[in-house]
Structure formats: structure tokens, C-alpha cells
Structure 1
């Protein structure tokens, strides 16, 4: 695409005399190559403007920047390069989200499980899907690894274009609060926006719960302000969460609700769960019917209701939805069982917020016969205020809480553990800083009737200590510990 054609998407921009062919867009100078447009972004740690000359040496044909630069290629100067980057990426990749059925899911907990449930429902009825989330990105059956829940706008639009080229029908994506505030999903034309729940997380970034909630609300306000019969917009909202009151006002889209404790379009009653699954009666528009899940826990009933409502507004028959949901065995790192032939359950879960940890431990308490070993840590360089809260929850719901390291990153692991201890003064717990040793201790101590929970990292296959990334998978460490019994 010619530079002038690309710049037509930006109002009141001054066109440079040169009009080179733009072959790609990058915001990392290390990825610059002949014919690319390099976007200078001011990050929290690194300022991309410092690398403009290196991008030129690597063959960049033009640069988008907020400052005057000493280079010999066209520089398009704008006030906010990150915002304009999203506009340009959308145009360069030919507005791919307008050609997809776009489903965005936001909330503190449950995004990954809900997205995978929706993905399975759609695939089971023959719809082709793409998936973007915490675990990975997927275009049909092709998996792409990702570092963030929601990638930046350039990568996003590139992946959406791949989906269009692969004749994908529906894109299902987790949308983080960071992505919404930072404009990574600007330009995405969502058809269905889903809210799971809101509880404390990311206050190191958002500072207050009010700001965190406001960030989540951006997804619903971006559904647009017009009504169209050929492509209607829906907001799928959790009626049992107070944040829904704000989101109802944030959007002009059609509203569909789900919940357990309050009347909703999709609800659940007569919930029964045990160590092997969950049953409930689904209340849906004009019908009630029994649902039997292999998934465990009330929190998973919420995830299932969100998925059912989303599929329903996407014109999938309710019978097909339920048939698909009932076959789901689980999602990687979400209440995932580790089976090494032992006589007690070992559960690995991504629970890394107070609310998610409480939900998991409450569920375990409903089927645990004897002791509950809960291995809990908190990530470094993240919200410190949730550390004592998580420790307190572990002590409240587990008979044998063990505090250990998660991903300490640049922080001292012992300092993180001291923060956790502030919430459990006078209570019984163990501290085993080495995560592998903590898991091994719990598994060697457990007996028939006990339950071992390894919380915090879930699907992750690494541990970040300082600036180093080590191979570490809670599930594999647990299996190795079982060999020593």
C-alpha cells in the first residue's frame, strides 16, 4: 500500500512529498525491514523515538512519530502515535474485523474459560473460529504463542487479517483492561461484548477500583450507537455483579443478561456439584432444562451461562449449545486435575486474584473429605494490596496453607511473602519460598481424602525470577513429586 493511501485514514494530516510503498508496519525497531513503516511509541520503559535511525538503517521507508527526527525518510508527525498506530493498522490490513463475527470478553476472572467454551460451541456446529487470549492465539487449528492477553494493535489486526484469509467466521478474544486503556483494540468492530465479573486486580496499574471498572466499561461503549438488523450488537452482562449497573449505561447495544442470584435472561437454579462435575437447571427464554457439566464449581456455572448467552445471540440453537457444553472436560490450567494415580485430588488453577482464589477454595471445600493443602504465591511487580488478602483467603478456606513464590520478577521473593503475612497474623500457615519444594512438600504430606491445590500459575510453563525465565510447569512438578511417594 502506498504511503499516501495509508495516510488518507488520518484526518488533517500533511502528506510528505515522497510516496513509498509500505510493505509492513512495526513498532519494534528490531523487526524493521525494507519497506516498513516504523511507529515510534513512548513506552513505560523504552521510548521508540530513540531507535528511529536504527529503523532507517534496517530499511524503514517511513516513520510515524510524535517528535521531529533526524532521518532521511518521510516522518509523519502526530500527537499520539499509539492511537494513530491503531488507525493505520486497521487500514493497512483492510479492516478485517468488519468481515468477522467479533466476540470480546472482559472481566477479572473467567475470560479464558468462557472464551474456550464459546469456541467449542461454535466449532461443534460447524462455524470456523479464531481465538485470542491468555493461553495463546489460534487461527483455525494454527496456534500462535502470545505474551499478552491482548496483543498490540498491529499484531491484532495482522492476526485478524490472517483469520479473514483463512475464511474464519468468528473471532473470540479476551480483552484486558490494559488493552482497552492503551488503545490496543481501537478499531475492532465488536458484535458481542461479554462481561464476566469484577474484583480486585491490576491496582498497580489502574490505582483504584473505580478506574479499573471504567476501563472495563470501554468495551461496551465501543459497541456503537446505532441499531442494524443485519448485524445487531449485543452486550452480555452478569446480572449478579454490581459493575453491570455501569455497563448498562455505557452501551446503546441490545442487552442480554445472565446470573444465578438475580433474575436474568439466562439463569441457573438447583445447582449441585461434587468432585466430578456440576448439574443445574438452565432458565432460558421460554424454556427450562437440565444441564450436566464435567466442569466443577459455581464459578464455572457463571462461565457456562455467559457462553450460552453469547452463542444464543449469535443464532446458535439452544439444544446444540447445551449438547456442546456438556462435553467440555476442562480448560488448560483452570481447575485442572493432575492424575498420577494418587489417592487424592491435585488441582492446578490460574487463581491469582483474591476473588478467584476464594471461588476455587470454596468449591474444593464442598467435596474435600479431610485436609486442604493450598499452595499460594503472589506475583512480583504487580498489585501489592492483594497479597495480604490472598493469604487471608488461603488461611480461611484451607486447613494447610503454604505460601511460596509465584513469578517474583524483580522483587525479592521473601519481601513478597512478608507482604502476604501481613494479612494472617496469628494464623497457622507454612512458608516454603521455593515453589518446587512447596509443591513437593504438600504432595508428600497428603493422604487419601485430602486435596492439594496449586494456585496462581495455571497454564504457565515458566517462572520469572529477576530477569531470567525458567522452565516451570506446576502440573509437571506435581507429577514429578508423585514419583517420590
Structure 2
């Protein structure tokens, strides 16, 4: 594509230093990735301003720059209102709009995006559909897997992944859509066929500035989707339910709390931490591209946790809207083993160890609620204090733990700074530890804080008794917790089958240190 052809397709204010037309060879938003005849997009980021590196991009071969303000560099400059928005558009154009040539399913929620996307991708794969997956754990193009750096990649990288999917004959991509991606226009030019919004809670307030801004970002996925799309909405949340009247898409609603919805569930049981329930489709659901008949069927989940019902119901609705037979859905739900660090049972012997990423208040409360339904003797928690999240998040997390003190019989909290198991960025600051300590001790709960993850987990395993539950709780600081716990058990339990013991973490993406 010629630069003159591209300029005509993007909204711009003014062009300076145009010398000659040229064929665009690549796009870069990092100056070091600029090459001969590339366009460099200068983005004002949270840490630095890409406009500072336009000359570096020029020296690396860039022949034009998209800017929000002109700079004193002898390179063709195209001034736009929003460089991020422009990056999304030109990336889509450069890769010839790949999402218009395949089916794309976009999944958003405060919690459960990862589990739901993995579950939907597995259901579709079980129908012999060639699938791609984009999310916070990994990106997958057919059988090729790479570790994810962002929940939703930057728009240029995202469109390149879509292009490679289409080139490899991928029929459908299932992707997590984060609030950051929506706010920063990373997905502005993705052509979604099905979108889902399964739950909503306070999260990322520090990033978005307010809950209102967070909601505006999240809800834009539903509000801006095309008329031919289908939107799956959980009407147990009033704000999500209101989107029925604020989208051009056809809407399928679901509920797990008995609200009147297109798809609902009843007879919920939790057996050994895993749910059984009956799915009810009260009436035929017919749209231009959807035909779901009135029906009832029973579902058993292999993944544990009460909150898994919500993820399963969103997945069921997406699969039904996609035209998947209920028998395949039922079979997949019964066999699906879950996603790493999402209420994951990593050890089930005389006692149970559960690993959970404990990402935000809703996640914390959902996890602890699920444990409250489980049969147990004593409950032990090993908590990785959240580094790089500030005092507010750590105070809120401490209060959430305290609120379950009586119901779960929390007698002590073992916490860790995870020294040696987190990057410098995620190290726990003194103020973060201080507010957590203050809240827990003021609630009258004994607290032990260990430097290392190993010492904290070993303490819990040394104290555990038959019939107890240990919860390994935390985000980056607990990523290696499961492996450490199983290493400790392998040395403590003489004669244990180590092959079987380590089976739960063998396929973990966090164990992969290179692209497969």
C-alpha cells in the first residue's frame, strides 16, 4: 500500500514534510522496531512519550510518522487527534481487515474472562472448528502457543495475530477483551460476531480514574458492536442488564439468580466444590443468525467453585448462539479441567490445596464463597501481598479477607512478600505491607509475614491436618506457589507418586519459557 492511499483513509488535520510517495513496508509504535519504509506511530504513553523518539525511528528507516503534535524532525508527519486510534485503523487496513474474514468472539467481565474464553475455545474445538485464542495466559494460533504479555495485545500486534490466524485457515478466534484495550482503542477495529459481558465489580480504578470510566470502557464493547452481532448479557447485574437497550446487536440474556432471562439455571448443587445444575431455555430464541430451541438439560462442571457457574452459563449461551449442539457443550463442561490459577485444585489427598490468582474484590469474594460451601475441617490461607498496586488495593483486599473471618473460621493468615519470585516492578513496598498488616491485626487475626513464598507455604503445609483446605492466594506473587507446594509435598510424603502429584501443573503456560 502507498502512503498516499493510506492517508486518504485516516482522519487527519495536516501533513508536513511530504516529499514522495512510497510503498509502506511495515508499521511500528516502538522506534527500535522501525525499519526501511515503515510508518512510525508516536504514542503518548503512561511512562514516556513516543514523540521523543521520532528521530530514532527516522534513523532506523522510518519514512513517515503519525503524530498528535508536530516535532522538529525532517520526516513526513501526519497529524491526528489520537495516535492510538490511528494505529488501530492503519493496522487493520495494513493487514487487510482480517477479522472481517473470520468469526470473532469477544469476552469481557471483571472476573472469569480467561476461564470463559478457554471454555468456549474448547467447546468450539470439540466441534472440529479451527480456533485461535487471545488472552491473559496465552495466545494460540492453531497448535502454536505463545505466552501472553497483555490480556489484549496492542492493536498492531493484535491485527497481525488475526492476519496470521486467517493465513493459517483459522475459522474462529475467541478473545478476552480488557477494559484497558477498550479504553486505549486496541480493539477499535475488530469486527466481532458475538460479544459477552458476564459480571461487573470495582477493578482497575487506579488506571481508569473512576468506576464510571471503568464502566464506560467495559460497556463500549456491547454498545459499539455491529448490528449483525449477538450480545450475551448477564442480567443479574443491573448495569449490564441496562445494555439490552443500548446495543444494536441481538441480545441473549442469562441469569443464575432466578431473574427472568432467555437462559437460566435451577437446582444448583455443589458437590466436592464442583457444581451441578439444570439449564432452562424458556422459549425459542430466533434471530437472523441464531436459532435456539426451547429446551432443558443438566450440566455437571469439572472445574470447581460456585463462581464457575457464571462462567459456564456465559459459555453455554455463546456456544448455543454459535450453533453448537448441546451434547457437545454438556460433554465439554464435564471434561474441561479449567485454567491455571483460577480456583484450581492442585492437590487432593488427605487435605486439599487450591490455587487462585485472587485478582480483585469480586474474585476474592467469589473464591472465599466457593470455599464456604465445601466440607472442611480447618481453613488455611497463604496470601501473597500485592506489590505495585498501592495501599488502597491492599487495604481493600485485607478487608475482604476479614469479612470472611467468621464464616470460614480464619484463625490465622500466613502472608508473604514473595521475595525472589516477583520482578522488581511487583516488589511489595513498605506502605503496601503496612496497610495490610494494620487491617488484619486490627481485626484480631494473628498474622505471620514471611519474606519468601517457600517459607510461607511450608509453614501452612507443616500445620495442615486431614480434612483441611489450604488456599494459595495472590497474583504475580503467588505464580510459583503451586510448584513450590508440590515440591514440598514430594519431599515430605515418602513414596508418593510424583508423576501423578505434579500432573496438575505439567501443562501450565507459566512453566513455558519459550514459544512452542
Q: TM-score, normalised by structure 1?
A: 0.91
Change (3 A) 1:316 1:454: same
- Residue number among 444, 449, 467 corresponding to 2:467 in the alignment: 449
Deviations 1:178-203 (CA, angstroms, capped at 9, x unpaired):
11111111111111111121112111
Task: Say whether residues 1:371 and 2:388 are aligned partners.
Answer: no
Q: Which residue of structure 2 aligns with residue 6 of structure 1?
A: 6
Q: Which residue of structure 2 aligns with residue 45 of structure 1?
A: 47
Deviation, 1:161, is 0.6
Q: Which residue of structure 1 aligns with residue 431 of structure 2?
A: 415
- Residue number among 116, 119, 142 corresponding to 1:140 in the alignment: 142
What is the distance in 1 between the residues matched to 2:367 and 2:148? 26
Q: Which residue of structure 1 aligns with residue 70 of structure 2?
A: 68
Q: Which residue of structure 1 aligns with residue 414 of structure 2?
A: 402
Q: Where has structure 1 moved over 6 Å in runs of 4 or more?
A: none
Task: Say whether residues 1:316 and 2:353 are aligned partners.
Answer: no
What is the distance in 2 between the residues matched to 1:477 and 1:445? 16
What value does the CA root-mean-square deviation take over the aligned residues? Answer: 2.1
Deviations 1:413-466 (CA, angstroms, capped at 9, x unpaired):
332122224443132132314233212211221111111111123xx6x78xxx
Deviation, 1:14, is 5.5
Select between 161-170 and 393-402 the one with higher mean Cα deviation. 393-402
Select between 288-297 and 405-414 the one with higher mean Cα deviation. 405-414
Change (3 A) 1:368 1:438: farther
Deviation, 1:309, is 0.2
What is the distance in 1 between the residues matched to 2:19 and 2:295? 65
Change (3 A) 1:249 1:405: farther
Task: Say whether residues 1:267 and 2:264 are aligned partners.
Answer: yes
What is the distance in 1 between the residues matched to 2:434 and 2:12? 55
What is the distance in 2 between the residues matched to 1:427 and 1:241? 34
Deviations 1:215-267 (CA, angstroms, capped at 9, x unpaired):
1111011113x4xxxxx311101111122133223312111111111122222
- Residue number among 181, 198, 210 corresponding to 2:183 in the alignment: 181
Asked whether the equivalents of residues 129 and 171 of structure 1 are also in contact (C-alpha less than 8 Å), the reply is yes
Deviations 1:316-372 (CA, angstroms, capped at 9, x unpaired):
122222222221122111122223x75211111122212111111221222242111
Asked whether the equivalents of residues 381 and 413 of structure 2 are also in contact (C-alpha less than 8 Å), the reply is yes
Q: Which residue of structure 1 aligns with residue 513 of structure 2?
A: none
Asked whether the equivalents of residues 2 and 22 of structure 2 are also in contact (C-alpha less than 8 Å), the reply is yes
Change (3 A) 1:111 1:392: same
Consecutive unaligned residues in structure 1, runs of 5 or more? 227-231, 464-471
Deviation, 1:134, is 0.7
Change (3 A) 1:49 1:78: same
Q: Which residue of structure 2 aligns with residue 482 of structure 1?
A: 489
What is the distance in 2 between the residues matched to 1:393 and 1:426? 12
Asked whether the equivalents of residues 342 and 482 of structure 1 are also in contact (C-alpha less than 8 Å), the reply is no
- Residue number among 309, 319, 322 corresponding to 1:301 in the alignment: 309
What is the distance in 2 between the residues matched to 1:198 and 1:284? 24
SS of the equivalent of 2:96 reads: coil
SS of the equivalent of 2:166 reads: helix
What is the distance in 1 between the residues matched to 2:219 and 2:412? 38
Change (3 A) 1:411 1:246: farther
Q: Which residue of structure 1 aligns with residue 91 of structure 2?
A: 89
How many residue pairs were aligned? 467
Consecutive unaligned residues in structure 2, runs of 5 or more? 283-293, 493-516
Q: Which residue of structure 1 aligns with residue 336 of structure 2?
A: 328
SS of the equivalent of 1:273 reads: strand
Q: TM-score, normalised by structure 2?
A: 0.86
What is the distance in 2 between the residues matched to 1:438 and 1:430? 11
Select between 371-380 and 43-52 the one with higher mean Cα deviation. 371-380
What is the distance in 2 between the residues matched to 1:323 and 1:284? 18
Deviations 1:276-330 (CA, angstroms, capped at 9, x unpaired):
6321111124221211111112210110000000111112122222222221122
Select between 127-136 and 246-255 the one with higher mean Cα deviation. 246-255
- Residue number among 48, 56, 59 corresponding to 1:57 in the alignment: 59
- Residue number among 343, 359, 374 corresponding to 1:352 in the alignment: 359
SS of the equivalent of 2:170 reads: coil
- Residue number among 12, 21, 28 corresponding to 2:30 in the alignment: 28
